[in-house]
Each structure stands twice: as C-alpha cells, then as structure tokens.
Amino acid sequence: MNAVYINNASCISVQDTLNENFFDHLTPENSVQVVKAIEPNYKEFIPAAMIRRMSKTVKMSSVASHYALKEAGIEQPDAIIAGTGMGCSQDSEKFLKNVIDNQEEFLTPTYFIQSTHNTVAGQIALGLQCHAYNFTYVNTSSSLEFSFLDAMLQINDGEAENVLVGSTDEQTERTMELYCLNNTIKKSEDLPFDFLNSKTDGVIWGEGSGFFVLGKEKTESSYAQLKDIQISNRLDLDEVQNFIGDFLAKNSLTYNDIDAVILGVSGDARSDIYYTKAMGLFTSSALLYYKHLSGEFNTASSFSTFAACHILRNQKIPEVMMINSVKKDGIKNVLLYNHLLGNDHSLVLLEKV
C-alpha cells in the first residue's frame, strides 16, 4: 500500500478536546459509573431548527467533522466513512418507547428514520451537499479501524484523495441501566478504583466523537502517517504475543522500534489481562493508557488515535497517560492496541511525518 496520512483530527469527548491546549488540562475520572462528553455550543454550527431534530451523536459528529474539514481547508471530501458501535441509540430508544406506549399503533416514523446507524454519515453529507462515496461500519469496538481500512483502500485504489473518516457513540438512559444490570458498568460499591490495578469487573462508560481527514499527500498540517491496521475478532491470551509480533514483523519493525504503546486499559479485571500481557513485550517503550480520561465505549479508540496524533506532532506525552517511566528523546512509531471487554482486538500503527 502507498502512504496514507492523517492530515487533520478533531475530537469531542469527556475532556475539553476542542480546546487547543487540552493536553495541559486532562482530568482522569475513576469515581462515577458514567461520564458525559463536554459538548460545544451547537448553535454556532447547526441551525436552531435542525438542532431539535438531531440526536446527540449526530450533533457531536457534525461539529467534530466540521472542525476536521475546516482545519484541512477542504469543503468537499472525496468520501465520507463513519464507524459506530451503537448508532443513534437515543432515537432508537424513543421509537421503541413509542411502540410500547402506543401499543404498536399510530406511530410517527421520524424516530425510526433517524435511528438507523448510517444517519451520522448521511447527515454530514447532507450538510456538505456531498454526493461522494458514503459508508458506515458497525463493528462494535473496531468500527473506526474498519473505517480507516476502507479509507486506505479508497486512497490506494485511486478512488479518493481526501477522505473524511470518523466514529461516534452516545449514551442512552435505558442502555446504561442495562449495562449496570449485566455488570458491564462497574458497581457503585467498587468505586473509586485504580485503573492499573483493578481487582473488580466492569468499566466506567463514556461517549464521544472523533473525525480525521485522511489524505494521499502529506501537508504542512499532517499529524501522522497511518502505516497499518490489523483486527482480530477473537484472541486467546496466549495468542497476544504472536498477534502483535507478527503485525510488527509485517511492517519490518521489532518491539524495540516502538517508541510508545497506547493501551485501552479500562479497569475491567477480566479483560485487562490482555494489556498486561502486551506490556511485557515492550520493555523499552513508553507505555500509555487513556480510558481513565475518555471512559470505555464502542469507539473509544478515536480518543487514543486523536491523542496519538498530538503526541507525534508535539513530541510530548502527558504525564497523566503514562504507565511506566520510560521517556524517549524522539517519538517516531506509536502502536495503539485496543479491545472491548476482551473482544474485537485491533492494532493501529502510526508514524511521525
């Protein structure tokens, strides 16, 4: 494959990531079950009449994509690709509630129409009047990674030069209740906890939206080169070393060539053992984590990708993200390893430009 560059990045998250100096104000959270995204003033970006009809995930994505395209100086991308785990779940819940409340009669179709997972990519295209390739991936925690892969193929096949790629997920009241009941979310009595030494199951749930402009050519504003991606739906613990080692070998790298590894440590004792296994492979790398800043959710890897872009550009690692004390004079190769509660493992390799 030819080189593909992340030329621009934007993120709405639990942190104030729209702020240029967000790296200096990262605030960890380990004492609540659910953390909510810091939302911008939508009226600055979306007409008031439209805001009322938009779910949170559509609004977050509209603003995040606006920032990414504006910074890139691009009015019309050659493709729009979005990834999501839960889609527009707020409208899905509203529609299902109407079905029950109205005993399946006299239903208005609005909430159903707006509840489909491809609403986000569709709304962005409508706002831009963009008639180009438009696709949505729904692959739980690897939705963003599949979107990146598609964008890389579009660029390498000559179908596109600049692709808007993003991911988004929102919280809904009923879903959070169900996640508490099945112990996906940590029990209140287990809070607060130490992310790196958690003895209990469950996570803190978050939300957010991250968008990136991938390009064929490097620009002055480029953050990183997107080197490669690998995804595995299921992975046994004893397969972690081969999963990572084979991926690095494929890219002519060794463990020592990786300057920083960003791990999706979530505080879930059942599944964090995969990250513990991976840590042992990188004895000379800076080990980082991020879900104490973003919360866990299906597309939380958008936060780590956004953070990695800034780390590569600024050549600086925030103290609050560090697991070990290894510090590098220069940061060239960054490896992102993520999964959701032990499923859908993904590796993303970024390189300094």
Tally the C-alpha atoms within 13 A of residue 2's C-alpha that lie toward its C-beta.
Answer: 14
pLDDT of residue 97: 83
Smallest CA-to-CA distance from 169 within 48, 45, 11, 16 is with 11
Give Dmax (Cα) for the chain: 66
- Walk along the chain (353 residues) and give the pLDDT tens digit of each residue: 788 999 999 999 999 999 999 999 999 999 999 999 999 999 999 888 888 888 899 999 999 999 999 989 999 999 999 999 998 887 787 878 888 888 888 777 777 777 788 999 999 999 999 999 999 999 999 999 999 999 999 999 999 999 999 999 999 999 999 999 999 999 999 999 999 999 999 999 999 999 999 999 999 989 999 999 999 999 999 999 999 999 999 999 999 999 999 999 999 999 999 999 999 999 999 999 999 999 999 999 999 999 999 999 999 999 999 999 999 999 999 999 999 999 999 999 999 99
Residue 242's H or E segment, with its range, is helix 240-250
Q: Compute, in degrees rounded to 10, the torsion defined by CA atoms 321, 327, 330, 335.
A: -50
List, in sequence order, every beta strand (DSSP E) within 77-161.
79-83, 133-137
Which CATH class for the 225-351 domain?
Answer: alpha beta
Can you give the length of the chain in residues? 353
DSSP-derived pairing of the beta strands 260-263 and 286-289: parallel
Residues 6+ apart with CB under 8 A from 342: 270, 271, 274
pLDDT of residue 114: 76
Is residue 341 within 8 Å of residue 203, measured between CB atoms? yes
Residue 346, strand partner residues: 231, 338
What does the domain layout of the chain look like in residue ranges?
5-215, 225-351
The Cβ of residue 96 has, within 10 Å, a number of other Cβ atoms equal to: 14
Is residue 204 within 8 Å of residue 240, measured between CB atoms? no
List, in sequence order, every beta strand (DSSP E) within the chain.
5-12, 79-83, 133-137, 162-169, 208-215, 224-232, 260-263, 286-289, 333-340, 343-351
Reading the block at residue 272, the tokens are 């964090």
Name the residue type at position 263.
L
Residue 345, strand partner residues: 232
pLDDT of residue 204: 98
Topology alike, domains 5-215 and 225-351: yes
Q: Is the pTM of this model over 0.85?
A: yes
- Burial class from Cβ neighbours inside 10 Å (0-12, 13-18, 19+) for residue 18 reads middle
pLDDT of residue 293: 98
Pick the CATH number of 5-215 from 3.40.50.970, 3.40.47.10, 3.30.70.580, 2.160.10.10: 3.40.47.10
pLDDT of residue 78: 98
pLDDT of residue 223: 97
Smallest CA-to-CA distance from 136 within 244, 61, 193 is with 61
Residue 162, strand partner residues: 215
